[in-house]
Amino acid sequence: MPPDHSQTNDHASDWPAASSPMLHIEAGVATLTLNRPAQRNSLSDADLQVLLQHLDSIEADAAVRVLVLAARVQPPRSVFSAGYHMGGFEADASQGPQGFERVCAALARVRPVTLCALNGSVYGGATDLALACDFRLGVQGMELRMPAAALGLHYCAGGLQRFVARLGLGAARRIFLLAQPLSADELLRLGYLDALVAPEALPTEVARWCHSLVQLAPLALQGMKQSLQEIALGEHNATAWREREAHTQRSADFAEGRAAFAQRRPAVFLGR
pLDDT at 11: 40
Q: How confident is the model at residue 9 (pLDDT cuts 50, 70, 90)?
A: very low
Is residue 171 over pLDDT 80?
yes
Cα 265 to Cα 257: distance, rounded to the nearest angstrom:
10
Q: What is the mean pLDDT of residues 198-227?
A: 96
Amino acid at 266: P
Q: How confident is the model at residue 268 (pLDDT cuts 50, 70, 90)?
A: very high
Q: How many CB atoms lie within 10 A of CB 119?
A: 24
Is residue 136 over pLDDT 60?
yes
pLDDT digits (tens, 9 = 90+) for 13-34: 456 788 999 999 999 999 999 9
Cα 122 to Cα 167: distance, rounded to the nearest angstrom:
17
Q: What is the mean pLDDT of residues 222-234?
A: 94
Nearest in space to 43 (alpha carbons), one of 130, 112, 110, 115: 130
Number of residues assigned to the chain: 272
Q: What is the mean pLDDT of residues 220-226?
A: 96
Cα 53 to Cα 61: distance, rounded to the nearest angstrom:
13
Indicate the average pLDDT of the chain.
Answer: 91
pLDDT at 14: 55
pLDDT digits (tens, 9 = 90+) for 144-153: 999 999 999 9
Cα 257 to Cα 254: distance, rounded to the nearest angstrom:
5
Percent of the chain with pLDDT over 70: 90
pTM of the model: 0.91
CA angle 146, 105, 212 (to 5 degrees): 90
Which residues neighbour 65 within 8 Å (Cβ) at sequence distance 6 or greater? 28, 29, 112, 113, 213, 214, 218, 221, 271
